Amino acid sequence: MTCQEDEPEWEAEFEEFQHDEPEMLPCPFCSAQVYEETQRCPHCGNWIMPLAASTRSRSKLWIIAAILALIAIIVFIIR
């Protein structure tokens, strides 16, 4: 085998290895390098993915709604 015959195999393995590494992107708020799939920036704390932020705010909204519903039920029972 010559070196030229091994080279294409090596290049293919190298390209495959490169695709396994997570891609780094700048945070849109503080420009710090974060992983592409990061939902919240570890440097500034801002939500990067809108879906993650909306899911979190929805869960808070449900908790507040449940507490208000319980208070309304208790007030209704006491009367």
Residues 45-72 pLDDT 10s = 998 876 545 555 667 888 899 999 999 9
pLDDT at 6 over 90: no
Residue ranges per domain, the chain? 19-48, 50-79
Task: Please state the pTM of the whole predicted model.
Answer: 0.39
State how far the Cα of 56 lies from the Cα of 67, in Å rounded to an integer: 17
Over residues 21-31, the pLDDT tens digits come to: 678 889 989 99
Residue with tokens 């992983």: 35
Phi, psi (rounded to 5 degrees) for 33: -75, 125
CB 27 within 8 A of CB 34: yes
